[in-house]
Each structure stands twice: as C-alpha cells, then as structure tokens.
Chain A
Amino acid sequence: MTEEINLTIDGIPITTRAGTSVLDAALENAIYIPHLCHHPDLKPVGACRLCGVEIDGGRMTMSCLEPARAGIEVVTESPEIALVRRTAVELLIANHDMDCLACAAATDCELLRLSAHVSVQSERLERLKGLTELKPVDNSNPFFSFDPNKCVLCTICVRTCEEIQGVRALALINRGYETVIGTFGNKPFIESVCESCGECVVRCPVGALAPKRFQKPAREVQTTCTYCGVGCGLYLGVIGDRIVSARGDRERPSNHGQLCVKGRYGFKFINHPGRLTTPLIKRNGEFEEATWEEALDLVAEKFSQHKGDSFAALASAKCTNEENYLIQKLTRAAMGTNTVDHCARL
C-alpha cells in the first residue's frame, strides 16, 4: 500500500497518496486549479504556467511539478497568482481562434473551463490581438485536422506521440510568436511519420487537433473492437441507426483506452451503402433478391442432400465465439463431418 498523507488546500484538509502531485491531489478532491499542459497519462512539464500555487507561504510554484508532502498548506489563489494566471490566459486567448460553436472540443474545452475561472478583460484582449497572422489549417489527414490558430502550445500532443505512442511525429518548431506544433520539416501530417492513431486528438484540450465531421453521439455502447487480436475495449457512439464515433475504453486491461487508426476511425464500413441487406439466390448466373424463408429452405434442402464427406464449412475468425460454436456444431452434429476450419492459418 502506498503511504497516505494529509495536507490542506485553501484550508481544507485533504488526504492523498504519497507521490501524487499537488495538482492531482487537488483535482482528485474536486478542487479546480487552472491548468492546460497537465494530462494524467503524461509526465508533468510545468509549461503553461497556469497551475501556480503557494506552499507554506512561500513563492509561487507549479503545482503539477510539486509533490504533495505531509502537513503542507497549499494556497491556490493570491494577488500574485491571479496576475500571472490572467496574463498567461489572456495571451493564449488573444491568439486563439474563437470559433467555438463549430469546434469539436466545444463541450469539453480546457480553455473555456479556464477562462470561466479567470477574469478575462475584452479590451486587453483586443490590444493583444493582431500580433500573429492566421496560419493555414492542416486538413491533409482524412480523419482529423490541425488548426494552429486554436493551438495553445501545451505540447500534450507532442508528449503523447513521444511518451505513449513512441512514434515521435510531432515537435515544437520555431521560437517566440512563431512557435508552432509541427511534423518533421513542418510538412503536412499526411506526409509525416504520423500513424493516424488519433491519441493526440483525443488528448488535445482545446480542439486544435480535432476529428473531422465530428458529431457528439447521442449514446455510447461498450464493446470490443473487430479488427485485430488485441481485442481493444471501445465505446461505439451512435446517433439514430448510425455509428458516428469510437473511443477507447480506459478500464479495459487489453488496451487501457488506447486505439490504433483502424479501431478509432475504421468504423465507416458498418453503415456503408454497399452492405448486403437481403438474401440473394443465383438464378441463371444472376443474383436475385429472395426472402429469408426462400433462401434458408434452399440452403437446408441442398445441405440435407450432402451430409457427410461431401460437405465442408469455413467458419470465421471475425464472428463471435457463440457463432463459431454453432457453425462447428452444425457441421459435426447435423452434417456428420469434422471438416470445419477457418482462416487461423492465413
């Protein structure tokens, strides 16, 4: 068991595990400290300068980098902290493309959450505006876009690609106002080593990296991915009778929320117009639509005439366990042969 320690945040007694950062201890106890570059999956970097706190009356320190220690008294708001925070937020917002209604992050934006906590003055924003020009949006990837005008340079995407995916497709490029997130050589995403896994898109706190044509699902269903043998847990998002999204299930031991490009974005085949939607019977070399009764009766008639060694079944590694069980049972118990196999060897 990790040791439990006690401390206070704004005078409120808190218990947390040793080794937790002050920021995480606060967030776990439903005390909000503004932050942008913090993500629970990533190592803290203290880059955004927003999560400053004062400990035991000392100078301001970044709470994401500060380990919680027994007995400390943490203060999350003071005139000095408020000034630093407001300046940092105003600089971020002044350069931010405020197209919030059409933004995929609209319902879950750290910048909106942040601005609600900091007194932002619009006349000051006006003065800060115009220091940078609008930068082109990178739409090269079929599944997501990157809008540098919304980017807050928190580097969560860069660190996700490095620390979690080990792909290292992204980096901070240039200096000062010219700083942007970019690929090697600042080429379009599609020409980089990016594998389109979308893990950075999931973690982007502001909608700079956003799924294309995103629709927030009306409901979500917990299931298992249909692609490879890893068996990632995922939630399929549904609107009406359409699958509109997929996201990783963080509780699942097989993937802990991570997905690849196929699992996250490869669901469009489900509602593809080319799906087979009715039984077909070939007559004179042409397929004709049939009812289930007609098709099943014909299949049963032919199968009944070929019980034993003249019958073979190929089951499917894409089907469920229950379905494979039934296919082998049908072959063995009803058709009288053990000639049932599937593509395990292919």
Chain B
Amino acid sequence: MTNSIEEVKDAACILAIGTNTTAAHPVIAYSMKQASRNGAKLIVANPKVIGLVRSADIFLQNQPGSDVALLMGMARVIVELGLHDETFIEEQCENFEAFQASLEAFNPEFVAEVTGIQWETIAEAAQVYATNKPASIFYAMGITQHTHGTDNVMAVSNLALLTGSVGKPSTGVNPLRGQNNVQGACDLGALPNVYTGYQQVTDPKVQAKFEEAWGVKLSGENGLTHVEIIDAIDEGQIKVLYIVGENPILSEANANHVDKAFRKLDFMVVQDIFMSGTAEYADVVLPAASFAEKDGTFTNTERRVQRVRKAIAPVGDSRPDWWIVNEIGKRVAEKGFDFDGPKEIMEEIAALTPIYGGITYERLEDVAGLQWPCPNKDHPGTPYLHKGKFSRGKGKLIPLVYKPSDEMPDEEYPLLLTTDRSLYHYHTVITRMAEGLDELEKEELLRINPVDAEGLGLEGGDMVKVRSRRGEVEVRADVTDVVPPGVVSMSFHFHESPTNVLTNAALDPVAKIPETKVCAVRVEEFQKRAQ
C-alpha cells in the first residue's frame, strides 16, 4: 500500500476494485465501511456481488477480465470533463499526451460492451472518484491474477495520477497483500530477480555489494518464478526442490501439471507445520514451528514491520524455520550461517537493505512497529509514499490497450470460472485444522447463477462435475445471483475439491502471475442432492 490502514476511514472516496475485502482483509473492510458511514463515497467494482456491495454507493459489476476497459473508460470521462488535476500532471507526471491518445479506443460503446456495464454508470463512478478527495483505490488479486495483470495495475495507477490522488493522506494506490508476510517475503528478497529491498540481481554494483558482504561469488542472472520453476522441473532442468511453508499442489494454477512435475524430481524437501498434500511428494519432511512458537517479524500490507513473539515452546520436536535453514546452511556453505537468532539476522538485513536500514529489535519494541522506507536509526518510518515526489522522479501515465483473457468461454466450455476466497478459510491447510472454522464453511461450493442452473436443470445442493481443458473437479452447487449469468466461482481452500486443477497457468508477461481469475469451464454429470 502507498498509504496506511489508519488513513482509510478518513477518505472521501474509496474505489475497491478486484478485492473481496470483507472476506480476504476483514479488518480493513471494517475501516472502509466506517468511512462510508462517515460520508465517504464507496465505489465497488467486482464481477461478484461481494459483502462490501451492501455499503456501496455505486456498484460496477464488470465482467471478469474487463478491468482495463473499465478503468480506462473512467479515465476517459475524467479527461473529457476536465476533472483531471492539470497542475499535478504538469508538475509531477509525464507522458500525458500519449496516455490521452490511448483513451480514444475506449469509447462508450466499446467499454459498455466489454465490461457489461452501462456507460452512464461508469461515467458517474468516474465523476464521483475524481471529485471526492481525498480518494483512495484498493485492489487485490482480482486485479493482478490475469494475463494482463500488469496492465490492470497500470490502469489503476493511471487513475490515481490523473486526479493527483497520490502522495497525500487517505489517497493512493493500495494493493491489499494477501498472506500475513507476503510483503515481507518480497522485501527480504524471496524473489528470483531481487535481493533484499528490491535490489536487482542483474545490477553489477548490487551483486558486488552482496558478494562482499557474504564472501561468495553470486549469479548475476535472474532466477525462475514460481510457475516457471514447475515448468523447469517438468522439462528436467530442476532436479532438487526445497519448499518451505507452501502447498502448491492446491494453490498453484493447473494443479495436475504440478503433480506431474513433482513426480519427476530427484529430491524434494518440504518444511511445514502439517502434512500437506505437497509434503506427501517429499523425500524429507522437516517439522516447523508455528508463528506462536518463535520470534521474528512480519511486514504487513502497509509496509509496517511488526514483532512476532514466541508464546509457547515448539510443538513436539518441531523447530523454527530460521533454525532449520541455518542448520542446512551450516552444512552446505563454508560460512554465513552461524546466526543465534532472529535479532541477529535482522542486524544483517538492516546492514544490507536500505529500506530496512533503521529497523532494529530495540525499536520494534514500540507497539506501532516501523513502516519502511526507514533508512536509518533516526528515521521515524514512512506512513505514506510519494510525498511531494515519486521515487522514479515523475509519475508515468501509461497508454494501454484492452487485451482479452487467455481463455474465454466458447461452445465447448461455455462458462467463465473465477476464483475467490472465503472469510472462514485461508489458502489450503491451517484453517482446515482450526476447529470451528470448518464448521462455518464445510466444503467447496460452485456459485452459479439461477439462469445458468435452470438451463442445466441444476438445483442448489446437487453435486456436479466441473470440467476445464486441464482437469475436472467434483463440487456442490450453490445456485445464487451473487454471480452474474455466464460466470461461476469457486474458492481453492478444499483438498476435496481442488479448484486449481481447473485453472489456467497462462502468465502475465511481466509479473509472471497465472490467470487464476479467468478460465473456461463446463458443468456436467450432476448427482441430485439427497432429498
């Protein structure tokens, strides 16, 4: 997030697009609803009628995959009505003319056709966003998990730049990061192209810095991303895989392909707290301690580094992940793995990572933690980014074209499947083990519109087979108008109905994110529910 969670309630306008906030980030949704009760205009854009719609002033139920058209359509309205912030664009942005020219293609007929929303509604939303300031935009995987996910993010960014809604409190471009420490895992360099703090592995100066610090020769070539790793295993290039706390057999798109690849590995180590579906493939399983059994830090979606503290001893003979990795390091490297605990590791992180430079365990004793960038020990941290100036110099408005999703419904697979999350579950394992949560949501459901259900002769509660070009899944149908006709949705929390067997692993060319939000399926062979 460019801005902070505490600022949400003071926004005058909130645009929540591609985020089912009440389910995936409930506590931020509380603040959005509070802002709405305080008089903020709430615009919700989502293919599904999500919980937040009850509080919305404007609901844009766009077709999955049509976000670029929707956002560029809104930008067109803003520019046509002269609601853009000319001073801000002049002083802080570049490329406005090229951007403006690219709006030409997003005419009312085209945008209405692609999004499935009347142009008047889009125009109203655009005016509301541009004229109620401060305005903040929130998005999540509904924006990113597309073959044009990067374009979607650029379209969001364009809207904020166009209206000068960035670099001030309660504004900004605010991706809601999913996992508790997905922000931290990225910050700390668990990515194939960057060391800690987004320092590029291909930059010779950065490489030299880390070679000196670690005392070893390093590779200056980008590594492979998640989906590419699976492909490289399948092709025989990667033979040894070390997985820590992940369950790709359920969470990765096109899960049958993952299964095929895992069987080809020479050696696989899985380190986890439960025997996940993925761990079943492993040659060695290492039992890890849970978050309640170790010290450390997590970095949340607003870049706030916060302490995690050991509440109980590790269960059984499990060990904290840092201890396990350190022990492996001791055995495979000559040096650099003699840490005696997380505090000492953070000292090395701070020394090598400019954005974490001022972060110490002493300072993290403050309950508020520290928000990066925090370059030195006297720096108070940064509640919102881009104040007065962008880190790259000028904010760039990006011309865009609409690109359809990789696999759209056709005669053979007539329905569009989109994936989402439940309030009661988190990814694939731990909530299934948390007594009570499973009771609140026991099984996977295929949400299908009554129009489609009627066409298939289907009733709520029936078991159906959902089939895509990649696989099939049995699941119970829930006939509901939270999804529009032609669109069905499933979560991916249940190993009994592994949704990602169906999804498409086609990638965004830049971010390499798979298109789990759109694929084509058909529903068939159903079994009537017991009467």
- Chain A residues engaging chain B, CB cutoff 8 angstroms: 142-143, 163-166, 190, 195-197, 221-233, 236, 238, 241-243, 249, 251-255, 258-263, 265-272, 274-282, 287, 290, 292, 295-300, 302-306, 309-346
Measured CB to CB, the closest approach of chain A to B277, in angstroms, equals 13
Other-chain contact of B246, A231, A303, A343 (Cβ < 8 Å): A343
B177: interface (CB < 8 Å): yes
Stretch from B122-130, B160-168, B291-299, B481-489 forming part of the interface with A:
B291-299
Asked if B100 is at the interface (CB within 8 A of a chain A CB), the reply is no
Q: Are B284 and A280 in contact (CB under 8 A)?
A: yes
Contact residues of B between 206 and 259, Cβ < 8 Å to A:
210, 214, 216-219, 221-227, 229, 232-233, 237-246, 248, 251-253
Instruction: Check if B179 sits within 8 Å of A223, measured CB to CB.
Output: no
- If the complex has contacts A282-B283, A317-B180, are A312 and B214 also in contact, measured as CB distance less than 8 A? no
The answer to whether residues A278 and B178 also contact, given A324-B188, A325-B348, A338-B219 and a CB cut-off of 8 A, is no
Complex interface bits, B329-372 against A, C-beta within 8 A gives 1, otherwise 0: 10111001101001001101100000000000000000110000
At the interface, yes or no: B98 with Cβ under 8 Å from chain A?
no
Contact, CB under 8 Å: A223 / B291: yes
Q: Please state if A321 and B305 are interface contacts (CB–CB under 8 Å).
A: yes
Closest 4 CB pairs of A and B: A277-B316, A231-B300, A320-B296, A316-B245
Q: Which residue of A lies closest to B314 (CB)?
A: A277
Cα A23 to Cα B202 with chains together (Å): 63
Is there an interface contact between B331 and A300, defined as CB atoms closer than 8 Å?
A: yes
B58 at the interface (CB under 8 A from A): no
Q: Which chain B residue has the least Cβ–Cβ distance from A143?
A: B436
With contact pairs A231-B304, A328-B190 given, residues A321 and B244 touching in the complex (Cβ less than 8 Å): no
29 contacts across the A-B interface (CB closer than 8 A): A142-B436, A195-B22, A230-B301, A233-B306, A238-B311, A251-B368, A255-B5, A261-B424, A269-B434, A270-B315, A275-B316, A276-B285, A277-B287, A295-B284, A314-B244, A314-B246, A317-B179, A318-B245, A321-B181, A325-B348, A332-B210, A333-B218, A334-B332, A336-B219, A340-B192, A342-B190, A342-B246, A345-B144, A345-B512
B404: chain A residues within 8 A (beta carbon): none
Chain B residues near A259 (CB, 8 Å)?
A: 27
By a CB distance below 8 angstroms, the chain A residues around B243 are 313-314
Known: A310-B239, A322-B346. A261 touches B301 (CB 8 A): no
Instruction: Give me 6 other A-B pairs in contact (C-beta within 8 A), A296-B331, A329-B337 excluded.
Output: A222-B367, A229-B25, A299-B242, A320-B291, A328-B191, A335-B332
- Set A243, A287, A296, A298: member contacting B311, Cβ < 8 A: A243
Name the CB-closest residue of B to A259: B27
Complex: chain B residue closest to A346, CB-CB: B251
**Binding stretch for chain A, among B320-328, B462-470, B472-480:** B320-328
A200 to chain B, nearest CB (A): 13
Interface assignment of B36: CB less than 8 Å from any CB of chain A: yes
Beta-carbon contact of B182 and A229 below 8 Å:
yes
Decide if B188 touches A325 in the complex (CB within 8 Å).
Answer: yes
B229 and A341 contact, CB distance less than 8 A = yes
Pick the residue among B218, B246, B339 that contacts A316 (CB under 8 A).
Answer: B246
A269 and B177 contact, Cβ closer than 8 Å, known pairs A252-B367, A313-B242: no
In the complex, what's the smallest C-beta–C-beta distance from A321 to chain B, in angstroms? Answer: 4
**CA gap between A319 and B183 in the complex, in Å:** 11
Within 8 Å CB of A305, what residues of B?
240
User: Which of A303, A329, A344 is close to B182, meaning CB atoms less than 8 Å apart?
Assistant: A344
Q: A346 contacts which chain B residues (CB < 8 A)?
A: 226, 248, 251-253, 514, 516
Q: How far is the CB of B229 from chain A (nearest CB, A)?
A: 5
Whether A231 contacts B306 in the complex (CB less than 8 A), given A313-B242, A322-B322, comes out as yes
Q: How many A-B residue pairs have CB under 8 A?
A: 473
Binds A, one of B73-81, B108-116, B266-274: B266-274
User: B176: which A residues are within 8 A, CB to CB?
Assistant: 229
Q: Could you tell me the distance between the alpha carbons of A222 and B310 in the complex, rounded to whole angstroms?
A: 9
User: Which residues on the A side are within 8 Å of B6 (C-beta)?
Assistant: 253-254
Query: In the bound complex, do residue B322 and residue A300 qualify as a contact, i.e. CB atoms below 8 Å apart?
Result: no
Max count, chain A CB within 10 A of own CB: residue among B192, B243, B294, B310: B192
CB distance from B260 to the nearest CB of A (A): 16
> Within the complex, which residue of B297, B368, B516 is in contact with A322, where a contact is CB–CB below 8 Å?
B297
Do B180 and A227 touch across chains, with their CB atoms under 8 A apart?
Answer: yes
- Cβ–Cβ contact A278 & B317, under 8 A: yes
Write the nearest CB–CB distance from B350 to chain A, whole angstroms.
Answer: 11
Per-residue interface assignment for chain B, residues 262 to 290, with 1 indicating a CB less than 8 Å from any chain A CB and 0 otherwise: 00001101001111000100111111101
Q: Would you call B315 and A224 a contact (CB within 8 A)?
A: no
Spot the interface stretch: B10-18, B386-394, B425-433, B450-458: B425-433
Q: Is the CB of B180 within 8 A of A302?
A: no
Is B187 an interface residue when CB atoms closer than 8 A count as contact? yes
Q: A255-B27, A329-B336 are in contact. Are A229 and B317 (CB under 8 A)?
A: no
Q: Which of B216, B317, B321, B349 contacts A277 (CB 8 A)?
A: B317
| Whole-angstrom CA separation of A295 from B177 in the bound complex | 34
Q: Is the CB of B290 within 8 A of A269?
A: yes
Residues of chain A with a CB closer than 8 A to B232's CB: 312, 339
A317 near B440: Cβ-Cβ < 8 Å: no
Residue of A nearest to B202 (CB): A338
- Please, how many angstroms separate the alpha-carbon atoms of A137 and B395 in the complex? 59
Neighbouring B residues of A143 by C-beta, 8 Å: 436
Which one of A253, A261, A329, A343 lies within 8 Å of B368 (CB-CB)?
Answer: A253
User: How far, in whole Å, are A324 and B322 apart by their CA atoms in the complex?
Assistant: 8
CA distance A336 to B210 in the complex (A): 13
Complex-state Cα separation, A95 to B190, whole angstroms: 60
Is B528 an interface position by the 8 A CB rule? no
Give min CB distance, B218 to chain A, whole Å. 6
Partner of A221, one of B188, B217, B287, B311: B311
Bound Cα distance from A231 to B304, whole angstroms: 8
Query: Please, how many angstroms separate the alpha-carbon atoms of A277 and B240 in the complex?
Result: 24
- Tell me, in angstroms, the Cα distance from A236 to B310 when the chains sit together: 10
Shortest Cβ distance from A201 into chain B, in angstroms? 13
Q: Select from chain A the residue with minimum beta-carbon distance to B333.
A: A334
B473 to chain A, nearest CB (A): 17
Stretch at the interface among B59-67, B193-201, B407-415, B518-526: B193-201
Is B316's CB under 8 angstroms from A278's CB? Answer: yes
Q: Are A258 and B312 in contact (CB under 8 A)?
A: no
A336 to B220, alpha carbons, bound, how many Å?
10
Q: Are B248 and A343 in contact (CB under 8 A)?
A: yes
- How close is B381's CB to chain A, nearest CB, in angstroms? 11
Chain A contacts for B272, CB-based, 8 A: 276
Residue from A142, A298, A309, A334 in contact with B329 in the complex, judged by beta carbons closer than 8 Å: A334
* Interface contact A310-B240, CB-CB below 8 Å: yes
Alpha-carbon separation in the docked complex, A309 to B192 (Å): 12
Q: A296–B333 Cα gap in the complex (Å)?
A: 13
Assuming the A-B contacts A243-B312, A279-B285, A287-B285, are A321 and B349 also in contact, with contact meaning beta carbons closer than 8 angstroms in the complex? yes
Contact of B286 among A295, A312, A345 (CB under 8 A): A295
Query: Does B319 count as interface, using CB distance less than 8 angstroms?
Result: yes
Interface pair A330/B337, CB less than 8 Å apart: yes
* A324 touches which of B26, B185, B229, B433 (Cβ 8 Å): B185
| Chain A residue with the shortest CB-CB distance to B236 | A310
- Tell me whether B97 is interfacial, beta carbon within 8 Å: no
CB neighbours (8 Å) of B180 from chain A are: 224-229, 231, 317-318
Residues on B with beta carbons closer than 8 Å to the beta carbon of A229? 25, 176-180, 182-183, 300-301
